[in-house]
Amino acid sequence: MARTTGSDGEKTEAAVREAAASLIARYGYEAMSMRRLAAEVGVQAAALYRYFPTKEDLLFTLMREHMEGLTAAWETARPTTADPEARLAAYVRNHIAFHIERRHSTHASNMELRSLSHDRLTRILRMRTAYEKELRAILRDGAEAGVFSIEDTGLTAMALIQMMTGVIVWFRPGERLSVAEVTATYLSMTMRLVGAKIDGTEERHVHAHAQLRA
Amino acid sequence: MARTTGSDGEKTEAAVREAAASLIARYGYEAMSMRRLAAEVGVQAAALYRYFPTKEDLLFTLMREHMEGLTAAWETARPTTADPEARLAAYVRNHIAFHIERRHSTHASNMELRSLSHDRLTRILRMRTAYEKELRAILRDGAEAGVFSIEDTGLTAMALIQMMTGVIVWFRPGERLSVAEVTATYLSMTMRLVGAKIDGTEERHVHAHAQLRA
DNA sequence: GAATTAATTGAACGTTTGTTTTATTATGCA
DNA sequence: TGCATAATAAAACAAACGTTCAATTAATTC
């Protein structure tokens, strides 16, 4: 056999990306063999090499597109106002929404950095640093304006990002909490953490659903 | 050749554990081959099987001892007082100190759970849940006593743990901040996050060193 | 409808993997 | 001193790995 009926390069490539992200999230990059990935797509292993020259290329592509997507989402969501609180709220909302929606590629981007070559690792880290810099700027502006009370801007930014990204570890859509509820709670935790005078705005909507579990 | 001069089972086993934790933290469990681990210890691969029947046994041992150590450290550090704030402070201090001190095995315990068999995964998760339950109890007590203001106890506990454990991602001993400074800052962030009326206690000591970086 | 291009298969390559087996030597004890 | 055993080396195993190549067929183009 050779080319199969109905085969389409674009569809196959998309299926490969999706299956790869899912397998890497579930079992890890090293544990995902090209044969198993191919089986998931419904294709022979050799066919994968039409789309990605090496396994590492595939990983890098997933990571690069994840970071590009995250940056692009923030470019769109970023408010024009100078108000630090509104900007921080937008950052938190965008970060959580994006990571929940793409939790498979988030897993890859956060856990598999060590499998990249030096050059590619540097490129991904550069993108990540640029994204995190936006948060530090917001925190710094807020601290200087006196609306936040922050001891260490860099450290607070790291703490916030780890707290927010950690959502993907335990959050499963359709369980106890909705995305909106989780986001609202994280928003008010964030605001308290940075010492904002006014709490998160949607807090009232959530109170009815919260405190159900000990 | 066979047995080498000065060879000692206990020393070798300890060296294997340490080297394994370090290699897994740096390259991941799947990427660590038994031959490379053996080379790191200065021994042939076959010698490892005197101490650990399989590679997965080695991983499980590292994880189990990590969790046992964490639990034991908390048993010792846990204060007798009922005051939720003092208990939360002790929890934060213990968690951060332990994870910074053992950041190699922390990496293994957090990132390599998927490489465990079902049974062993369950055992590790049971230990972890028991440890996290302590934090939820503190938060609940504080919320009920009115000294904390918390929307969702379970969600706040997860957020705090991810924030604290995340320290190992960026913290390197001997760089900008000392362990004491990092702990103090995280303590006051924690207290603000849970809505404690009084801030963390050591805050004043740190102010001089903080805010050096944008 | 013939020629060309795109998509895929199936088999094979050399490496590396975790693990086992057998032989050999150092060490601790009688 | 001699004996038991603890600790290791060296070689080998089958299985799985990422990757390549030639052959083959579906889709597209002219």
Instruction: State whether A27 and B114 contact (CB < 8 Å).
Output: yes
- Residue A139, domain member (yes or no): yes
Q: What is the pLDDT of residues B20-43, one digit of tens each?
A: 999 999 999 999 999 999 999 888
Cα nearest neighbour of B32 on chain A: A30
Q: Which CATH number goes with the domain that contains A47?
A: 1.10.10.60
Residue A101 counted as domain residue? yes
Is A157 within 8 Å of A139 (Cβ atoms)? yes
Q: Of the candidates B210, B202, B213, B22, which has an alpha carbon nearest to the alpha carbon of residue B96?
A: B202
Asked whether residue B16 is domain-assigned, the answer is: yes
Q: Using a CB–CB cutoff of 8 Å, tell me whether B158 touches chain A.
A: yes
A78 and A176 in a single domain? The answer is yes
Report residue B3's pLDDT band, with 50, 70 and 90 as the boundaries: low
Distance from residue B3 (CA) to nucleotide D6 (C1'), in Å? 9
Indicate whether A146 and A199 sit together in one domain. Answer: yes
Whether B213 is covered by a domain: the verdict is: no
For the purposes of burial, counting CB atoms within 10 Å of the CB of B36, is it exposed (0-12), middle (13-18) or buried (19 or more)?
A: middle
How many domains does chain B fold into?
Answer: 2
Answer yes or no: do A26 and A108 share one domain: no
Q: What is the pLDDT of residue A211?
A: 38
Q: Do B129 and B178 fall within a single domain?
A: yes
Asked if residue B107 and residue B45 are part of one domain, the reply reads no
C-alpha closest to that of B200 among B96, B71, B69, B129: B96
The percent of residues above 90 in pLDDT, for chain B, comes to 79
Is the shortest CB-to-strand distance from A32 to strand D under 7 Å?
Answer: yes
Task: Note whether A7 and A59 are same-domain residues.
Answer: no
Contact A198, A85 (CB under 8 A): yes
Range of the domain at A13: 1-52
Contacting residues of A for B185, CB less than 8 Å apart:
151-152, 155-156
A139 and A41 belong to one structural domain:
no
Q: Note the pLDDT tens digit of each residue in A96-148.
A: 999 999 999 999 999 999 999 999 999 999 999 999 999 999 999 999 999 99
Flag whether B212 is in a domain: no
Of the residues A19, A34, A52, the one at which a domain ends: A52
Domain membership flag for residue A29: yes
Residues in chain B: 214
* CA–C1' nearest nucleotide, residue B47: D8
Residue A200 clears pLDDT 50, i.e. is over it: no
**Co-location of A46 and A60 in the same domain:** no
**CB spacing of B211 vs A185 below 8 angstroms:** no
Instruction: Answer whether A175 touches B (CB < 8 Å).
Output: no
CA distance linking residue B74 with residue A151, whole number of Å: 27
Residue A206: which pLDDT band, with cuts at 50, 70 and 90? Answer: very low
Does the CB of B12 sit below 7 A from strand D? yes
Residues B124 and B63: beta-carbon distance below 8 Å: yes
**B180: contact with A, CB 8 A cutoff:** no
**Could you report the per-residue pLDDT of B171-192, keeping only the tens digit for each?**
998 888 999 999 999 999 999 9
Provide, for chain A, the percentages of residues in helix, strand and coil under a 3-state DSSP scheme, each rounded to the nearest 5. 70, 0, 30
Examine the pLDDT at A37 and tell me if it is beyond 60.
Answer: yes
- The answer to whether strand C lies under 7 Å from the CB of residue A192 is no
Put simply, whether B125 touches A (Cβ < 8 Å) is no
Residues A88 and A162 in one domain: yes
The 10s digit of each residue's pLDDT in B132-153 is 999 999 999 999 999 999 999 9
Please name the residue that has the structure tokens 């509104």.
Answer: A86
Say yes or no: Cβ of B33 under 7 A from any atom of strand C.
Answer: yes
Please check whether residues B128 and B99 belong to one and the same domain. yes
What is the interface size between A and B, counted as CB pairs within 8 Å? 112
Residue B211 domain flag: no
A37 and A109 in a single domain? The answer is no
Q: Which tens digit of pLDDT belongs to each residue from B4-16? A: 666 666 778 888 9
User: pLDDT category, A205, cuts 50, 70, 90?
Assistant: very low
**Does residue B107 have a pLDDT over 90?**
yes
CATH classification of the domain holding A132: 1.10.357.10
Q: Are residues B31 and B102 in the same domain?
A: no
B47 inside domain: yes
Interatomic CA distance for residues B38 and B51, integer angstroms: 12
Question: Quick check: B96 and B164 in contact, CB under 8 A?
Answer: yes
The reply to whether A207 touches chain B by the CB within 8 Å rule is yes
Pair of tokens at residue A132: 């995190």
